[in-house]
Structure 1
Amino acid sequence: MDNSPSNSASASPERPLVSVLLIAYKQESMVADAVRGILAQTYSPLEIIISDDASPDGTFAAIEAAVRDYRGPHRVVTRHNAANEGISAHLSRLAAMAQGELLFVAAGDDISAPNRCERVVDYWLEHGRRHDLIATDLVAMDQDGQLHERMEPTDLDSYRSFDDWLAQRPWLVGAAHTWSRRLFERFGPMMAGSASEDQIMTFRAIVSGGASSLREPLVRYRRGGLSSKRHHRTTAELIARFRQGNGFALVETEQIQRDAEIAGLGERMRAALAPKVAREQFIQSMFNARGVGERLALLGGAREVKLGLRIRLFLYTTCPGVYAPSLWLKRLKR
């Protein structure tokens, strides 16, 4: 659905058109709150794209119901994917559709403050449109909507170069990020299969126009969302999660390397990523090995990977039942 009200304000150098990219997946019970937070934005002109990533529940129906009676000034587009794409590919699709100069990321289980867009646009303009990514603080929110502590991710203003990024990866919460359109256009869509879109886009910004932190809590961040830590009940769940994380890491390292090539940092990045690439490729090879013999050969041959990890992976892939008692003890402690 595309709702394009005739009273939408016109863009100007002082009031650029900006876009909100609100993505949702299996958030039927809470997405309406996220939508209402975006519809209530005080900034205009504003384009809002709300997209469901092929949820198997009623998430998209809840989105449509939340916007059905909206008659405000913002342009609102609702859509859903035919098949699940994952966070990075989903956001890349919406970024390619969006028309705004700034692209606000929003999640279907969080709530943006009404002045989020206004404050970020003002900050961006005050700094001469220099920054390619702006991150705000957040407020933790539980599943019942009760607010808790303030969340202050890493100060991105301290990251001025590739060397800063190499020294320490920042702690980030992508649901409070805003990208410049030029950043997305310079590096292009993110690869499908990565769950680290916040790290990818922040790296792009650091080696491009710069990243900055606006130290105001403009997003209510719901605990226990899709990116939260999972508690495993069985060894099968543990191993499935481990393999999923390995797949995410392989895509992320390939994406970061591609982006480094575009930024003229290919050789330095290749050297920096070599230990992580070796680790993740070893994990993948262990899970793909045909039989104990191949796993033993990998265990003894991958000397660039720490011995403890090699032994752990051998156990995961050969006799995972040895981890069942530890999972049972963890359940008792919870």
Structure 2
Amino acid sequence: MLLIAYNQDRQIADAIRSALAQTYQPLEIIISDDASSDGTFAAMQAAIAGYHGPHRVSVRRNSTNQGISAHLSQLAQMAQGELLFVAAGDDMSAPQRCARVVECWLQHGRRPDLIATDLADMDEAGNVHEHMSPTRLDDYRSFDDWHARRPWLVGAAHTWSRRLFERFGPMLPGAAAEDQIMVLRAILSGGAVSLHEPLVRYRRGGLSRKRRYNSVEELIARMRQSNRYGLAELAQLQRDAEIAGIGERMREAMAPKLAREQFIHAMFDARGWGERARLLVGSRDVKLGLRLRMFLYASCPAVYAPGIWLKRIVRKNGR
């Protein structure tokens, strides 16, 4: 089990307790802090102090922040098991999670390279609400299936086979999430299946929550970060497709998205109005509406300030 955390000192103890409570044996649990700026690492150490249970447990931290994709890849290289369970520092695994996933994997003849379980929606106070059921992955057999309808996924409920790293290598740094990357790897390899049992309590309000912005500057900073994430994911998908022998098909499929992300990057990095205007007029492979919005964000962001101010007032009055 690869239990990763970043600035989650208030939730990490619950996540660790749920990992230590796993009924499956033998189980190795690697608990890793991605260079948090709060007390996450100290909370990790406190949570395992005095543990004498059956699992082999280690706690570590990165000296610099690696990001989700690089962090998980780093831990995957350290782990010894055939199956790698992803666990987030603000979620909780049911005690039978590992046992049920291993049972499912064995029932499928050890063929699947990714098993995704359902989740239980959990609020910030730990109260459990509705059952969350991501897209059924058993129906995805090829790249065409994935490209035609990208599945809705929650990576914190995924389990991978070690084979995905042996074939494709570690994930490149920079991607915000690993879920689409790893599920495509699995589809191109031994396949992906879904286990429709809510074996992970998925906490609302975690790192994946929808952001609210108090200023145009915050919004633009987030847009630029999302753009970097998008470019990193596209680079990873292309590299994996080359390894799988479908590089040209991936280039054709991702060309519109790559053009958008490259345009956004170029617009924010442009020097002056003249260069931005040339991008606005010349980037005909990007929709005009997006070009205009990005031109305004990069050239005169104050245009959007009244809208953000109004949203803040509405949120405040709605409490």
TM-score, normalization: structure 2? 0.98
SS of the equivalent of 1:114 reads: coil
CA RMSD of aligned residues (A): 0.6
How far off is 1:196 after superposition? 2.2
How far off is 1:281 after superposition? 0.4
Letter in 2 for 1:65: A
SS of the equivalent of 1:61 reads: helix
Instruction: Please list the CA deviations of residues 287-311 of structure 1 after superposition, one character each: whole Å capped at 9, or x if unmatched.
Output: 1000000000000000000000000
Q: Indicate yes or no: 2:286 matched with 1:298.
A: no
Q: Which runs of 5+ in 2 are unaligned?
A: none
Percentage identity across paired residues of the two chains: 71
Correspondence 1:280-319 to 2 at 5 A: 280-319=261-300
Q: Please name the residue that 2:179 is paired with.
A: 198
Instruction: Please list the CA deviations of residues 120-167 of structure 1 after superposition, one character each: whole Å capped at 9, or x if unmatched.
Output: 000000110010000000001111111111111010011111110010
Q: What is the alpha-carbon distance in structure 1 between the residues aligned to residue 33 and residue 230 of structure 2?
A: 24
SS of the equivalent of 2:150 reads: coil
Correspondence 1:240-319 to 2 at 5 A: 240-319=221-300
SS of the equivalent of 1:50 reads: strand
Correspondence 1:65-144 to 2 at 5 A: 65-144=46-125
Letter in 2 for 1:149: E
Q: What is the alpha-carbon distance in structure 2 between the residues aligned to residue 158 and residue 284 of structure 1?
A: 35
Q: Which runs of 5+ in 1 are unaligned?
A: 1-19
Q: Indicate yes or no: 2:163 matched with 1:182.
A: yes
Q: What is the alpha-carbon distance in structure 2 between the residues aligned to residue 42 and residue 190 of structure 1?
A: 30
Q: Indicate yes or no: 2:135 matched with 1:168.
A: no
Q: What is the alpha-carbon distance in structure 1 between the residues aligned to residue 314 and residue 133 of structure 2?
A: 29
How far off is 1:333 after superposition? 2.5
Give the number of aligned pairs: 315
Q: What is the alpha-carbon distance in structure 1 between the residues aligned to residue 251 and residue 153 of structure 2?
A: 23
How far off is 1:39 after superposition? 0.3
Q: What is the alpha-carbon distance in structure 2 between the residues aligned to residue 217 and residue 73 of structure 1?
A: 24
Q: Please name the residue that 1:41 is paired with.
A: 22
Q: Please name the residue that 1:21 is paired with.
A: 2
Instruction: Tell me which of 213, 216, 219 is aligned to 1:235.
Output: 216
How far off is 1:332 after superposition? 2.4
Q: What is the alpha-carbon distance in structure 2 between the residues aligned to residue 247 and residue 35 of structure 1?
A: 31
Letter in 2 for 1:25: Y
Letter in 2 for 1:239: I
Q: What is the alpha-carbon distance in structure 2 between the residues aligned to residue 284 and residue 324 of structure 1?
A: 22
How far off is 1:223 after superposition? 0.5
SS of the equivalent of 1:245 reads: helix
